C-alpha cells in the first residue's frame, strides 16, 4: 500500500522544489522516482523488509537519498523533507496546485499576490473578477482554471480503479487469514470495473461472521469505523475511501452478489422484468410468492428470469438484458487473448528499463510480441529522440530479436499542431508500428483538433492513434474532438485506435470502444508502459474493453504475430 502514497509524495516534492527554484536535476530525479515506483510490481514495504535500503537502491531511479526517504516513510509514516516543504505554504496550497489548468507557478502567484490559499477563496476571486487583473492571467486562463475546479469537484470522492483494486486485494488477503471464509469477493462498481470507484463493497460467506466483521474493523488499513455489527461493518480506509463488508448466508450469496454488484439501473431493469413474470428479486433471492426459487449463485438468479449469465462489466442497463434474452451477448475479450503489447517505452526516451529488460518482462507474461515505441523529438520532457537517434534504436532492436518473443520496431510520434508528424516518412518507414499521439496544444477548437488527428491518419505509415481523447482521469478533461468523424476516417484509412490501459487514461473509454466496434475498427489494448511493472496494467485495459462489449475479434493485439504484421503493413500498400 506504500507505493502509490510514496509516488504521490515524491511528485509533490518535485513541484514544491520547482517553486523554490531548485535545480532541474533534483526535480527530475523525484519525478523519475515517482514514475518508477508507480509502475513497480512489488510492494516497497516488502522490498524494504526483505533487503533494507540496499534492495530499495536496486529499483530504477532510486539512489541513496531517495532510498532513505522511502525507508523514512515506511518506518515513521512521513517524509521529513516533504513536511518541511509543505510548512512553507498554507495547508490549502497543495490542493490548489492539483487543479488542472492552474499549476504550481500560477498557484504561487495567486498565493503571493492575492493571499489565495484554498479552492473556496479561488472560486470567490474568479466570481469577483479579481484574478483577471494579475499579469499573465487572461480570460482564457481563467476559463481553464474554472473548468479545472469543476473537474476536481466532480472527481471528489472518486478513486482510480488501480487504487481501489490495490486496497480491495489487501483487505481480501487479510480477511482470508482471519478464519473460515468460504467465499469472498469485492462487489459494487469495482466488480463492474468502472474507471473510478466511489466506495468498496466486499461480500463474504463464513460460519464465523462476527469474527470476520470485528477483524475487518481492526485492520491497519482502516482509519475510522463507521458501524460494526454481527454481519456488517463499515469503515473509512486510510485513503479516505469507504468500505462496507457484508457477511451473507450461502443460500443467499448469488442474490446478494448480484444485488451489491449493481448497477442501480441494471438492478431496476431486473426487478421490472421479474415483476412481469410474477417474481420478486431482492438481495436475499428470487421469490415466487414467499417461496425462494433461486439465490445461491448468480447463474441461478439470471436463470430464474430466463436470462443467460450477464458478465458484471455489462451490467449498466445498456441493452444487456435484451441481448441475454435473445442469445446475443458478446463473448467478451479475456486477458489471455492478448498476445502482446504495442505501446511500450524504454530508457532510450523516458522509460526506466532497457529494451532487453522490457522484452524479457513481456516474455515472462507469455507474450508472443512486444513493440518498443519511444518518443519522437518534440516530446522533449519525455526524452524524445531525434531521427538519427531513432534509426540507431531500430538497429539495436534488430540485434535484440529475443528468443521466445518478437520485438517490433516502433515509435510514438507526435502529431504537431498543424497535423504534420514529428518524423519524416523515410524515417517512419523503418518502423513496424507507428503510434501517433498528441502531447501539446490541448485547448485547440473541436474543428481544428479533429482536423489535426484526421491529417495524421492520412499518413500511410501511421498505424494507431494513441490515447485518442487525451484525458487524464480526475486530472485533465478530454480535448474536444468529433469522435464520430475520427472513427469514420479511421475505418476509411485503415487506422487502428488505442485503448490505453494506464489507469489514469483508459482512453478509449468503454463507450468509445463500443462505437469503434460499430465502425469495425480494431482496437489495440496497450499499456504505454515506462517500466516493466507497468505491463501489468493491461488488465485495466481489458476490463474497459469488456465494458465496451469488445470481443477477441475486435482487438488488434489478439492476432498472432503473422496476422498482426499483415494488418500493420496493409496500409502502406
Indicate which CATH number applies to the domain containing 146: 1.10.150.20
Do 531 and 431 belong together in one domain? yes
Residue at which a domain ends, from 32, 65, 87: 87
Residue 520 has pLDDT above 80, yes or no: yes
Q: Do 39 and 538 touch, CB atoms closer than 8 A? A: no
Residue 293 has pLDDT above 80, yes or no: yes
Strand partners, 371: 408
C-alpha cell at 277: 413474470
Q: Are residues 416 and 452 in the same domain?
A: yes
Helices (H), 177-205: 188-191
Does one domain contain both 454 and 556?
Answer: yes
Residue 376 is classified by DSSP as B
Establish how many alpha carbons lie within 13 A of residue 239's alpha carbon, considering only the half-sphere containing its beta carbon. Answer: 25
- Split into its structural domains, the chain has a count of 5
The domain boundary, picked from 307, 325, 343, lies at 325
**What's the rounded Cα separation, in Å, for the pair 240 and 236?**
6
Beta strands 496-500; 464-465: pairing state: parallel
Per-residue pLDDT band at 374 (split at 50, 70, 90)? very high
CB 390 within 8 A of CB 421: no
- Residue 409 domain boundaries: 335-572
pLDDT at 40 over 90: no
Same domain flag for 265 and 374: no
Kindly report the CATH number assigned to the domain that includes residue 23: 1.10.150.110
Distances (CA, A) of 70 to 2, 390, 417, 532, 567: 9, 35, 41, 20, 46
Q: Across residues 56-79, what is the average pLDDT? A: 90
pLDDT at 316 over 90: yes
Nearest to 31 by CA among 538, 535, 439, 530: 530
Query: In this structure, are strands 285-288 and 291-294 parallel, antiparallel, or unpaired?
Result: antiparallel
Q: pLDDT digit string (tens) for 443-476?
A: 999 999 999 999 999 999 999 999 999 999 988 8
Does 36 fall in a domain? yes
- CB–CB of 2/27 below 8 Å? no
With a cut of 70, say whether residue 544 has pLDDT above it.
yes
The phi, psi pair for 158, rounded to 5°, reads -110, 130
Task: Output the pLDDT for position 119.
Answer: 86
315 and 400 assigned to the same domain: no
Q: Mean pLDDT of all residues in the chain? A: 92
Give the CB-side neighbour count of residue 56, counting CA atoms within 13 A: 25
Q: Are residues 457 and 547 located together in one domain of the fold?
A: yes
Mean pLDDT (whole number) for 551-573: 96
Label residue 259 by pLDDT band (50, 70, 90): very high
Local confidence band at 1 (pLDDT 50, 70, 90 cut-offs): low
DSSP 332-364: B--GGG--EEEEE--TTTT-SS-HHHHHHHHHH
* Whether 477 and 567 share a structural domain: yes
H or E element that contains 413: strand 406-414
E strand segments, 138-260: 159-160, 181-186, 196-197, 199-206, 222-228, 232-237, 242-247
Assign residue 276 the CATH number of its domain.
Answer: 3.30.210.10
Q: Where are the alpha helices (DSSP H) in 458-524?
A: 483-493, 510-518
Polymer length in residues for the chain: 573
Amino acid at each position: 500500500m506504500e507505493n502509490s502514497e510514496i509516488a504521490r509524495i515524491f511528485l509533490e516534492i518535485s513541484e514544491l522544489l520547482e517553486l523554490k527554484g531548485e535545480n532541474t536535476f533534483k526535480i527530475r530525479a523525484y519525478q523519475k522516482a515517482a514514475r518508477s515506483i508507480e509502475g513497480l510490481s512489488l510492494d516497497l514495504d516488502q522490498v524494504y523488509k526483505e533487503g533494507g535500503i540496499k534492495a530499495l537502491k536496486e529499483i530504477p531511479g532510486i539512489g541513496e537519498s531517495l532510498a532513505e526517504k522511502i525507508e523514512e516513510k515506511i518506518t515513521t509514516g512521513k517524509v521529513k523533507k516533504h513536511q518541511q516543504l509543505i510548512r512553507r505554504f498554507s495547508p490549502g496550497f497543495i490542493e490548489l496546485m492539483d487543479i488542472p489548468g492552474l499549476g504550481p507557478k500560477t498557484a504561487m502567484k495567486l498565493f503571493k499576490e492575492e493571499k489565495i490559499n484554498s479552492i473556496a477563496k479561488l472560486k470567490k476571486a474568479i466570481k469577483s473578477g479579481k484574478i483577471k487583473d494579475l499579469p499573465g492571467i487572461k480570460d482564457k486562463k481563467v476559463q481553464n482554471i474554472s473548468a479545472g475546479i469543476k473537474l476536481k469537484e466532480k472527481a471528489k470522492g472518486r478513486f482510480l480503479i488501480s487504487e481501489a483494486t490495490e486496497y480491495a486485494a489487501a483487505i481480501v488477503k487479510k480477511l482470508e487469514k482471519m478464519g473460515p471464509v468460504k467465499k469472498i469477493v469485492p462487489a459494487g462498481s469495482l466488480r463492474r470495473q468502472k474507471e473510478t470507484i466511489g466506495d468498496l463493497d466486499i461480500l463474504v460467506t463464513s460460519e464465523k461472521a462476527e469474527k470476520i466483521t470485528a477483524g475487518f474493523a481492526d485492520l491497519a488499513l482502516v482509519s475510522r469505523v463507521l458501524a460494526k455489527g454481527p454481519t456488517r461493518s463499515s469503515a473509512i480506509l486510510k485513503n479516505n475511501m469507504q468500505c462496507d463488508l457484508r457477511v451473507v448466508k450461502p443460500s443467499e450469496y448469488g442474490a446478494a452478489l448480484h444485488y451489491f454488484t449493481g448497477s442501480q439501473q441494471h438492478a431496476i431493469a431486473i426487478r421490472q422484468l421479474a415483476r412481469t413474470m410474477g417474481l420478486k428479486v431482492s438481495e436475499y433471492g428470487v421469490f415466487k410468492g414467499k417461496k425462494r426459487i433461486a439465490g445461491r449463485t448468480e447463474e441461478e438468479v439470471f436463470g430464474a428470469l430466463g436470462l443467460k449469465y450477464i458478465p458484471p462489466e455489462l451490467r449498466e442497463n445498456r441493452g444487456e438484458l435484451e441481448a441475454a434474452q435473445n442469445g446475443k451477448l458478446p463473448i467478451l475479450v479475456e486477458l489471455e487473448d492478448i498476445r502482446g503489447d504495442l505501446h511500450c517505452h524504454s530508457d532510450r526516451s523516458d522509460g526506466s528499463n532497457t529494451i532487453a529488460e522490457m522484452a524479457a518482462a513481456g516474455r515472462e507474461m507469455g507474450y508472443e510480441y512486444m513493440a518498443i515505441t519511444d518518443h519522437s523529438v518534440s516530446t522533449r520532457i519525455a526524452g524524445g529522440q531525434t531521427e538519427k537517434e531513432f534509426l540507431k534504436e531500430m538497429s539495436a532492436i534488430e540485434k535484440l530479436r529475443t528468443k521466445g518473443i518478437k520485438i517490433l520496431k516502433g515509435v510514438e510520434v507526435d502529431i504537431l499542431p498543424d497535423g504534420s508528424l514529428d518524423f519524416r516518412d523515410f524515417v517512419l518507414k523503418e518502423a513496424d508500428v507507428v503510434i501517433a499521439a498528441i502531447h501539446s496544444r490541448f485547448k485547440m477548437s473541436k474543428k481544428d483538433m479533429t482536423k489535426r488527428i484526421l491529417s495524421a491518419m492520412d499518413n500511410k505509415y501511421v498505424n494507431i492513434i494513441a490515447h485518442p481523447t487525451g484525458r487524464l482521469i480526475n486530472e485533465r478533461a478530454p480535448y474536444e474532438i468529433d469522435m464520430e468523424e475520427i472513427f469514420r476516417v479511421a475505418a476509411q484509412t485503415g487506422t487502428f485506435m488505442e485503448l490505453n490501459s494506464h489507469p489514469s487514461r483508459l482512453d478509449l473509454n468503454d463507450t468509445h470502444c463500443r462505437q469503434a466496434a460499430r465502425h469495425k475498427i480494431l482496437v489495440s489494448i496497450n499499456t504505454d508502459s515506462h517500466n516493466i511493472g507497468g505491463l501489468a496494467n493491461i488488465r485495466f485495459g481489458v476490463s474497459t474493453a469488456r465494458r465496451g462489449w469488445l470481443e477477441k475479434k475486435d482487438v488488434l493485439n489478439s492476432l498472432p504475430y503473422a496476422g498482426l504484421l499483415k494488418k500493420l503493413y496493409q496500409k502502406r500498400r
